[in-house]
Amino acid sequence: MIEFLKSIPWSNVAGIIFGATISAIVGYLLQRNSFAEARRQKEHDRFEVRKAQAYSLFFKIIRVQSTTVQLAKAVAESLAKAEADGLQGMLWQKIMPMGNMPPRVKFTSDEMALLLSLDSQLFNDLGPYDDIHNSLLDIFELYGNHRHSLTEKFGAKMTGSVGITGLTQADADWLAPRAHILNGLAETMIQRAEHDSGESKALLLRMHALFVREFKMNPRLDFQEPT
């Protein structure tokens, strides 16, 4: 056995060992690079998913802000037209109901989890705002339904867009509590639409600044205020 070992050219053995070592090092480096690339790809994919969630949430709050502005504008236009027509009476008689209501908005748990990971205070402030937005739509819808139920009971003599209705005492007694409810809804609509349009704008600005910083979001914000 010793004689056999002596017969082996040690230069060849050293070459084999060196080659194996180089192969092992190369294999290790290739594997490490592969793991690093896989990690980079995973981080990239995670970033893209979070960016998509950010855009989804951003567009929803844009819709919320746009809806509240349009509702406030619709109320203001009804009041302005009633004044121009010289219409006297209670508030509900001056505010026309909305035709087609805008769609509801719902924030997903993934969208809110993303926001919580980035800005807990904005998460707290925005968290219930889909329900706030939807409740405002519910008020406008309820007003429209109640007003329609009330006005369809009576005929009217029309002068342009203004109708005049003669009421008996029994009609007036039937109308009084319902008109009181409608007037309360109309007052709530005015207050909520004005308040929510300003509050949602502030939330939108904060969200935009956050997503520009975190995801290099490109869209600019241009607000058109209702006259």
pLDDT digits (tens, 9 = 90+) for 127-180: 899 999 999 999 999 999 999 888 877 655 545 555 566 666 787 788 888 889
Q: Looking at the predicted structure, is the pLDDT value of residue 7 above 80? A: no
120 burial type by CB count under 10 A (0-12 exposed, 13-18 middle, 19+ buried): exposed
Q: Looking at the predicted structure, is the pLDDT value of residue 125 above 80? A: yes
Q: How far is CA 139 from CA 60, 103, 173, 186, 203, in A?
A: 20, 14, 25, 9, 22
d(CA 194, CA 191) in angstroms, rounded, equals 5
DSSP-assigned beta bridge partners for residue 163: 158
DSSP-assigned beta bridge partners for residue 159: 162
pLDDT recorded at residue 227: 45
Name which residue leads in pLDDT, 156 or 102.
Answer: 102
Q: Looking at the predicted structure, is the pLDDT value of residue 196 above 80? A: yes
pLDDT recorded at residue 30: 63
Strands (E), 142-207: 157-159, 162-164
Enter the pTM of the model: 0.75
- Asked if residues 67 and 102 have their Cβ atoms less than 8 Å apart, the reply is yes
pLDDT recorded at residue 151: 80
Handedness of CA 176, 178, 182, 187 (dihedral sign): positive
When mean pLDDT is compared across 19-33, 73-87, 165-179, 204-218, the lowest value belongs to: 19-33
Cβ atoms within 10 Å, residue 207: 24
Name which residue leads in pLDDT, 172 or 181.
Answer: 181
Q: Looking at the predicted structure, is the pLDDT value of residue 207 above 50? A: yes
Count the alpha carbons within 13 Å of 101 in the hemisphere toward its beta carbon: 17
Name which residue leads in pLDDT, 39 or 120.
Answer: 120
Q: Looking at the predicted structure, is the pLDDT value of residue 4 above 50? A: no
- Asked if residues 147 and 92 have their Cβ atoms less than 8 Å apart, the reply is yes
DSSP-assigned beta bridge partners for residue 162: 159
d(CA 177, CA 180) in angstroms, rounded, equals 5
Q: Looking at the predicted structure, is the pLDDT value of residue 59 above 60? A: yes
